[in-house]
Structure 1
């Protein structure tokens, strides 16, 4: 009986010492999502955000934090609520839709010959010096022309903690989208 009580006590202690998991979702940002017109979508231009890929170290469920110039930690209790690639795709589609009036921006191909945007994200994490890093490149195919641009955004994280990290990442990701929209709108 003493053995059973000791085992039960150890199990309860182990269970209570596990940290509670926290789940995070990128906020779309205030004023980013355009209201939907359910009657009819009329657009002069079409942009297909075909896919966004992330580096392997970002593809896990945990948020990533860089602890030194060469070391990265993947959080085990602070997790993305849905796959990061999916969140990046959804928020980028919303940002571009709002920033490109007169365009239909979609994550689905609507017809052949439309402009196509692909993105590769190689950095999307917090860093030991209080900075947030968003890095990668985008590739736009437009009228048989290809435009390729790198992006690197370093933002100051104003507060400590994962909530602030996720908000800063979302703010930076929105800025990347606005920068892409400026370049896309200049194409003829």
Structure 2
């Protein structure tokens, strides 16, 4: 029995040292203090698609460790696919920023504006910043408007929790910029 004891201790310690998986979900945006002006009888906005590149499409939260190196976490994962989370929170954030305008991730009849978003960066960085970048296109009355976005925001604390909160905050800021642009397009 004694000769098996070291192996038993080793096996038990290996089981107890397994890494814990942590799941992250973007928090819902908070209502904005200054909303874009309301529009009389506005067309609804259909968010047709939010796309992300392959390196962001997996389950792992992404962290940039140098100017050329990205690490995809294996124990810090998105609770649901990132493109779905970005689309769902965009619906919430635009709904908050554009009161009286219907925003949906599903088609809304024959008359609607169509929004497509291509996210190229949504990750933390080695210098304590988060990066949110990409472009959006809005089709309104046969006209297509395209705009790039590129945000870099400082994390308030270290760690994945702070990184995800800061990413969500930046995504909300971009939604507010979109809302302002949509109101200007609608009023022209």
Flag whether TM exceeds 0.5 (same fold).
Answer: yes
Which consecutive residues of structure 2, in runs of 5 or more, have no partner in the other structure?
Answer: 33-40
Picking from 24, 38, 46, the partner of 1:48 is 46
Partner of residue 124, structure 1: 122
- Hey, what's the Cα distance between the residues in 2 that align with 1:71 and 1:140? 33
- Hey, what's the Cα distance between the residues in 2 that align with 1:115 and 1:29? 22
Decide whether aligned partners of structure 1 residues 183 and 16 sit closer, same or farther in structure 2, where only a CA change above 3 A counts: same
Q: Is 1:16 paired with 2:16? A: yes
- Please, what is the CA RMSD of the aligned residues? 1.8
After TM superposition, give the deviation of residue 4 of structure 1 in Å: 5.9
Deviation sequence 1:3-56 (CA, Å, 0-9, x none):
765554443222211111111111113336xxxxxxxxxx63210001101111
Instruction: Confirm or deny: 8 A CA contact 1:118 1:138 kept in the other structure.
Output: yes
After TM superposition, give the deviation of residue 120 of structure 1 in Å: 0.8
Partner of residue 103, structure 1: 101
Aligned pair count reads 179
Partner of residue 67, structure 1: 65
Picking from 172, 177, 180, the partner of 1:179 is 177
- Hey, what's the Cα distance between the residues in 1 that align with 2:27 and 2:77? 15
Q: Which runs of 4+ in 1 moved over 6 A?
A: none
Instruction: Confirm or deny: 8 A CA contact 1:45 1:102 kept in the other structure.
Output: no
Instruction: Confirm or deny: 8 A CA contact 1:123 1:135 kept in the other structure.
Output: yes
Partner of residue 35, structure 1: none
SS of 1:50's equivalent? Answer: strand
